[in-house]
Amino acid sequence: MGQRVLLIEDEPNIIEAISYILSKDGWTVHTHSDGETAMDKVLQGVPDLVILDVMLPGRSGYDILRDLRSDSATADVPVMMLTARGQAKDRDMAIRLGATHFMTKPFSNADFLESVRALATP
What DSSP line would sit under 35-94, residue for residue? Answer: TTTHHHHHHHS--SEEEEESS-SSS-HHHHHHHHHHSTTTTTS-EEEEES---HHHHHHH
**Type and span of the H or E element at 104:** strand 101-104
The pLDDT assigned to 75 comes to: 97
Residue ranges per structural domain of the chain: 4-120
Superfamily of domain 4-120: Response regulator (3.40.50.2300)
Model confidence, pTM:
0.94
pLDDT tens string, the chain, 122 residues long: the values are 469 999 999 999 999 999 999 999 999 999 999 999 999 999 999 999 999 999 999 999 999 999 999 999 999 999 999 988 778 898 999 999 999 999 998 899 999 999 999 998 76
Greatest pairwise CA separation for the chain in angstroms: 35
